[in-house]
């Protein structure tokens, strides 16, 4: 009898442990966001007196200050321009390259695929100086175009890896039927491959958007002027100083800069889930 009672308690204990672990992970994820919001509704003096304390009142002056700040709006525009341009180029190039690596049998196919992946294992800080010299010698240094090209090159490897696996899962008979109907390779990609692998393309687009929107190192290193900064280095340059840092305004800027990513995730979450579960059925 005691063994049966003990055995019956294990599933309950397991469920309790699972729930507790899930709650702990949720708190670890949302905790910093809650703290940022509490900082953003404080004045500088209140934050200095109690950085981790509960705000005495909800002050949205910092949000108004950020939204009317011309520098923040310029940083946001630069981020929008760089991220959207980079993601578009990444999708075009990675789709074509992934299709070629998945479907075309040519000498050096595997070697080229490994070469793309090899770029993903090199730490970014090791190539900063060579990249800067290369862009400077081509006359592109210190421009937003240089950052777009750097983002594209840095993101192609993982994008090709993901899309290649999607393309290889499509039966070749579907493509053969399209070719019989008169489609060339580009039409096959546009009318057959892309519609069938739309969840994977959405995953690649969202992943790169999140990654590039929040990228700091390359933007801070390649852009010489604060007027060209994107949001991450721009916020750091505007509100972080050696002797006086406006942390409440910085927190408000961080939360406002995250709104576009939240909107994208809300509208694309179904495709993201479908993309991650692709091939598991």
| Whether residue 81 sits in one domain with residue 35 | no
Q: Is 90 exceeded by the pLDDT of residue 170?
A: no
| Whether residue 120 sits in one domain with residue 7 | no
Domain that includes residue 191, residue range: 61-276
* pLDDT reported for residue 104: 85
Give the pLDDT confidence of 5-60 residue by residue, as tens digits: 444 555 777 788 888 888 888 888 888 888 999 999 998 888 888 888 888 888 88
| Whether residue 238 sits in one domain with residue 147 | yes
- Residue 10 forms part of a structural domain: yes
| Whether residue 97 sits in one domain with residue 18 | no
Instruction: List the alpha helices (DSSP H) in the chain.
Output: 2-40, 44-49, 61-67, 70-103, 109-121, 128-137, 144-168, 172-180, 185-188, 194-196, 198-213, 217-222, 231-239, 247-276
Q: Which two tokens stand for residue 87?
A: 């993601």
- Residue 186 forms part of a structural domain: yes
- Residue 11 forms part of a structural domain: yes
| Residue 244 C-beta-side C-alpha neighbours within 13 Å | 2
* pLDDT reported for residue 272: 75
Phi/psi at 195 (5° precision):
-60, -40
% of residues, the chain, pLDDT over 90: 33
Give the pLDDT confidence of 112-166 residue by residue, as tens digits: 888 888 888 888 888 888 898 998 898 888 899 999 999 999 999 999 999 998 8
* pLDDT reported for residue 27: 83
SS3 131: helix
Q: Which two tokens stand for residue 201?
A: 């393309």
| Whether residue 137 sits in one domain with residue 99 | yes
Give the pLDDT confidence of 237-256 residue by residue, as tens digits: 887 765 677 888 899 999 99
Q: What is the CATH number of the domain that holds 70?
A: 1.10.3720.10
**How many independent structural domains does the chain possess?**
2
Alpha carbons 139 and 72: distance in angstroms, whole number:
28
Q: For all residues of the chain together, what is the average pLDDT? A: 86
């Amino acid at each position: 009898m005691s063994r049966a009672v003990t055995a019956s308690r294990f599933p309950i204990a397991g469920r309790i442990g699972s729930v507790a672990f899930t709650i702990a992970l949720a708190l670890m994820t949302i905790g910093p966001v809650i703290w940022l919001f509490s900082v953003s509704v404080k004045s500088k003096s209140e934050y200095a007196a109690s950085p981790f304390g509960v705000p005495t009142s909800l002050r949205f002056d910092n949000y108004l200050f950020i939204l009317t700040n011309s520098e923040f709006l310029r940083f946001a525009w630069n981020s929008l321009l760089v991220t959207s341009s980079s993601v578009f180029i990444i999708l075009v190039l990675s789709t074509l390259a992934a299709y070629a690596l998945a479907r075309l049998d040519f000498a050096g196919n595997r070697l080229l695929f490994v070469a793309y992946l090899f770029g993903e294992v090199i730490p970014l800080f090791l190539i900063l100086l060579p990249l800067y010299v290369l862009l400077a010698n081509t006359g592109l240094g210190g421009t937003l175009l240089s950052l777009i090209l750097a983002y594209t090159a840095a993101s192609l490897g993982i994008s090709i890896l993901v899309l290649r696996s999607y393309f290889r899962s499509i039966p070749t008979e579907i493509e053969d039927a399209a070719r019989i109907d008169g489609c060339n390779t580009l039409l096959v990609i546009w009318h057959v491959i892309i519609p069938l692998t739309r969840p994977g393309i959405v995953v690649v687009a969202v992943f790169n958007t999140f990654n590039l929107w929040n990228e700091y190192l390359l933007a801070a290193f390649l852009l010489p002027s604060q007027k060209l900064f994107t949001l991450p280095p721009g916020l750091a340059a505007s509100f972080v100083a050696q002797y006086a840092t406006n942390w409440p305004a910085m927190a408000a800027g961080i939360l406002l800069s995250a709104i576009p990513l939240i909107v994208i995730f809300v509208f694309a979450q179904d495709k993201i889930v479908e993309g991650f579960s692709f091939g598991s059925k």
